[in-house]
Amino acid sequence: MMNSVTSLKKALVLAGILVAGVSCQKGLELTEGDPEERLQNISSVNKSFFFEAEIGGDSLIYRDLIDSNLANGAQTSFLDESICDSIFIPKVESFFFGNATDTGATMVIQISIWGCAPPQLNLDTLIDVQTYDYGSIVDEKPGVIVQYIDDDNKMWQSVGSNGSLPSNQRERTFIITDMVNNSDPYAGRRIAGEFNVILYDSNDNQMNLEGGKFVSRIRGRLF
pLDDT at 206: 97
Cβ atoms of 62 and 105 within 8 Å: the answer is no
pLDDT at 102: 58
Model confidence over 66-99: pLDDT tens digits? 556 778 888 888 888 888 887 888 889 999 998 8
State the chain's mean pLDDT as an integer. 78
Determine the average pLDDT of the residues in 147-167: 95
Confidence at 165, pLDDT banded by 50, 70, 90:
very high
Q: Does 168 have pLDDT greater than 80?
A: yes
- Please name which of 218, 151, 184 lies closest in space to residue 15, comparing C-alpha atoms: 218
**What does pTM read for this prediction?**
0.79
C-alpha 144/C-alpha 158 separation (Å) is 8
Q: Which domain holds residue 41?
A: 5-218
Residue 139 lies in a domain: yes
Question: Domain tally for the chain?
Answer: 1
pLDDT at 29: 59
Residue 211 lies in a domain: yes
Residue 102 lies in a domain: yes
Residue 223 lies in a domain: no
Model confidence over 100-152: pLDDT tens digits? 765 555 679 999 999 988 776 555 678 999 999 999 999 999 999 999 999 89
Model confidence over 6-52: pLDDT tens digits? 333 333 333 333 333 333 333 455 555 554 444 444 555 567 789 99
**Which segment of 134-138, 191-195, 219-223 scores lowest on mean pLDDT?**
219-223
Residue 27 lies in a domain: yes
Burial track 22-38 (b if 16+ CB lie within 10 A, e otherwise):
beeeeebebeebeeeeb
pLDDT at 210: 97
